[in-house]
Structure 1
Amino acid sequence: MRPLIATILSAAMLAAAPAAVAKDRPTGEEKLARMLEGRAAGEPRDCITLSSVTSSQVVDKTAIVYRVGSTLWVNRPRGGAESLDGDDNILVTKLTGSQLCSIDTIQLHDRNSHMYAGFVSLGEFVPYRKVDTAAK
């Protein structure tokens, strides 16, 4: 009887392990909130100049964040955000000019296979700038 109870308990612990790991992993919204701590949102814009962008980061199922100097420009796609995966996506952007705009789409390709993995339709770009706490 004891081995049966031990087996049942072991199986229950193994089944609970993935759930515990999933709870420890922050959501895209939580990751974005952490990135934006100490920053305030500015007036949304339809376009940003891509040549000014020094880096971009995909936030899982939530947004694409573009860094221009010390400003973070957050784009919450109008469509396809559920396909965003910061660990596995490469953004493929095809521009007709020098700006990335809210009417543009971005293809997503798998980082390992380089195969097409979806696309997103961009939304407005919201600037987040550091809040000057010394002035308060």
Structure 2
Amino acid sequence: MNRIVLTIAALAGIATVTGPAVAKERLTGEQQLEKMLEGRVAGKPQTCISRFQQDNMKMIDGTALVYGRGKTIWVNVPTNPDSLDDSDILVTRQFGSQLCRMDMVHTVDRMNGFYTGNVFLSEFVPYTRTN
């Protein structure tokens, strides 16, 4: 009986010691963007990007929208980046083949589908891998 109690106590102690150490610190939006841009060089900002470059869009909470994948990605820091919330979904209404500066993107709550606001796009900055 004592052996069982000691074993349980020892396991509880191990769980207590490793629990907080295993927890991962959440990165801020700026830190996430910085990590995505490691090893990349900024190019000349563009007013618009084509639909092809819009594949694989990622919203970075309170910071930026990142489009594309592979060698070049396009970063757009909207005029109101604090409106970017990862609990929202972006709704883009395009009338042509491009997404451009000053286009307005709507945000909708992911859980209940209610309108939550607008995001106004700025210039798109290409970041290309250097290696």
TM-score, length-scaled by structure 2: 0.77
Q: What is the aligned residue count?
A: 109
What is aligned with 1:120? 119
Larger radius of gyration: 2
Q: 1:66 to 1:99 in 2, by over 3 A?
A: same
Q: State the Cα distance separating 1:76 from its structure 2 match.
A: 0.3
* Displacement over 3 Å in runs of 4+: none
Consecutive unaligned residues in structure 2, runs of 5 or more: 1-22
Q: What is the rounded CA distance, in whole Å, between the counterparts of 2:48 and 2:69 in structure 1? A: 13
Q: State the Cα distance separating 1:49 from its structure 2 match.
A: 0.4
Q: Deviations over 1:34-81 (max 9, x none)?
A: 1111111000000000234221000010100001553110000012x1
**AA partner of residue 125 (structure 1):** F
In the alignment, is the contact (CA less than 8 A) between 1:54 and 1:69 conserved in 2? no
What is aligned with 1:129? 128
What RMSD, in angstroms, separates the aligned Cα atoms of the two structures? 1.8
What is aligned with 2:46? 45
- Percentage of identical aligned residues: 46
**AA partner of residue 71 (structure 2):** S
Q: What is the rounded CA distance, in whole Å, between the counterparts of 1:69 and 1:97 in structure 2? A: 24
Is it true that 1:93 corresponds to 2:101 in the alignment?
no
In the alignment, is the contact (CA less than 8 A) between 2:51 and 2:98 conserved in 1? yes
Superposed, which structure 2 residues align to 1:5-44 within 5 Å? 24-44=25-45
**AA partner of residue 111 (structure 2):** N
What is aligned with 1:84? 84
What is aligned with 1:104? 103
TM-score, length-scaled by structure 1: 0.74
What is aligned with 1:17? none
In the alignment, is the contact (CA less than 8 A) between 2:79 and 2:121 conserved in 1? yes
**AA partner of residue 119 (structure 1):** N
Consecutive unaligned residues in structure 1, runs of 5 or more: 1-20
Q: State the Cα distance separating 1:27 from its structure 2 match.
A: 1.1
**AA partner of residue 51 (structure 1):** F
What is aligned with 2:64? 63
Aligned residue for 1:61, secondary structure, equals: coil
Aligned residue for 2:68, secondary structure, equals: strand
